[in-house]
Amino acid sequence: MHKDLEITEKGILIRISKKYKENMSAEYLYEATRGVWKLGNGRHENADYAFAIANGFILDVYRIDSWHPAGTTHYATRDDVNITGRKEFLGTLAEESIRAKYVGKSVNEYFKQGNSNPINYINI
């Protein structure tokens, strides 16, 4: 199906393109990835991992610990988080074996051409 990369974990691919900056700090990348997203159907609750995506590549992977309404947890690098009806997660960097498997890999095959939704559910 996806000949170049097969993601086997239950996860969410999150395109952070609008927040992406070259040489961004690890904290900024995490906060850009964890919120704030329009997730209406509850599928996100089944995800184990969030994949930070920019320019078609995986920048990093986070283990999702919990989901919260947007703006209800602390952010250090941004203040545009109080958006009604949106969600954010709290998590940690994924274990090294997961990160080594995915960071730097292309996910272009996981997004259909013309798809502008920043969220794509995998194995959920």
**pLDDT tens digit string along 43-85?**
999 999 999 999 999 999 999 999 999 999 999 999 889 889 9
Check pLDDT > 50 for residue 32: yes
Per-residue tokens: 106: 């292309």
Which DSSP letter does residue 94 get? P
**CB of 5 closer than 8 Å to CB of 111:** no
Q: In terms of pLDDT, which residue wins out, 76 or 112?
A: 76
Claim: this prediction has a pTM higher than 0.85: yes
In the predicted model, what is the mean pLDDT of the chain?
93
